Structure 1
Amino acid sequence: MSPLPSEPEYDLYLFVAGSSATSLAAQRNIQAICSEHLSGRYSLQVVDAQQHPARAVAEELLGLPCLIKKRPGLVRRLVGDLSDRPRVLKALGLLA
């Protein structure tokens, strides 16, 4: 009998602009979503675009804060404070 496939690992990057109110809200929102829906199945890297401008340029960001889901599946990008939960869950592939 072959082992069951493990659940997908989510590779997430949140690009923020320092400690602005919108950036802090985006961090709180994505951390809450991850702990509720992806517990133990994700890695989340928060990158301050002001401290790492080369990474922000390399990712061709359209705005900040910006969540990038690199895996599983297609790369997805969301700009904003991530307060629209259904939209975030859909982008992460957690809602149909």
Structure 2
Amino acid sequence: MAQNETTKLILYVAGETPKSLAAIANLERICKEDLDNRYEVQVIDLKKEPRLAREHSIVAIPTLVRQLPAPIRKIIGDLSDAEKVLVSLNVKGAQ
């Protein structure tokens, strides 16, 4: 990933469940501590927009999708393991 490239992340959640709230908080922490303000985050509540689950091939929640830079990468879970999230989304070099 280029050093000045913005990472676009989309987090799919289902309402305000404990796992959804944990994923949001963990993603905020990861972005703040590891992505040096080079990120854009969108949170999509699939309870409010259920059609997006099928359209975007979301099979479990919470799911974090790295939309940009290509290729698209996904990770499922509450994002509590920051190292795993960074490695899985291939943004470890963003520090």
TM-score by length of 1: 0.87
Q: Which runs of 4+ in 1 moved over 3 A?
A: none
8 A contact 2:8–2:68 mirrored in 1? yes
Question: Per-residue displacement from partner, 1:35-85 (whole Å, max 9, x unpaired)?
Answer: 111132111000000101111211111200000001113211111101121
Paired with 1:36 and 1:8, the residues of 2 have a C-alpha distance of: 17
For structure 2, list consecutive stretches of 5 or more residues without a partner in the other structure: none
Q: What corresponds to 2:85 in structure 1?
A: 88
User: What is the deviation of 1:6?
Assistant: 5.8
Paired with 1:6 and 1:65, the residues of 2 have a C-alpha distance of: 28
SS in 1 for 2:28: helix
Structure 1 position 23 matched with structure 2 position 16: no
Larger Rg: 1
Question: Per-residue displacement from partner, 1:14-54 (whole Å, max 9, x unpaired)?
Answer: 00010000000000001100011113211100000010111
Structure 1 position 8 matched with structure 2 position 5: yes
2:41 corresponds, among 44, 47, 54, to 44
TM-score by length of 2: 0.88
Paired with 2:36 and 2:21, the residues of 1 have a C-alpha distance of: 21
Paired with 1:72 and 1:91, the residues of 2 have a C-alpha distance of: 14
**Identity in percent:** 36
For structure 1, list consecutive stretches of 5 or more residues without a partner in the other structure: none
8 A contact 2:64–2:76 mirrored in 1? yes
Question: How many residues get paired?
Answer: 92
1:76 corresponds, among 73, 83, 89, to 73
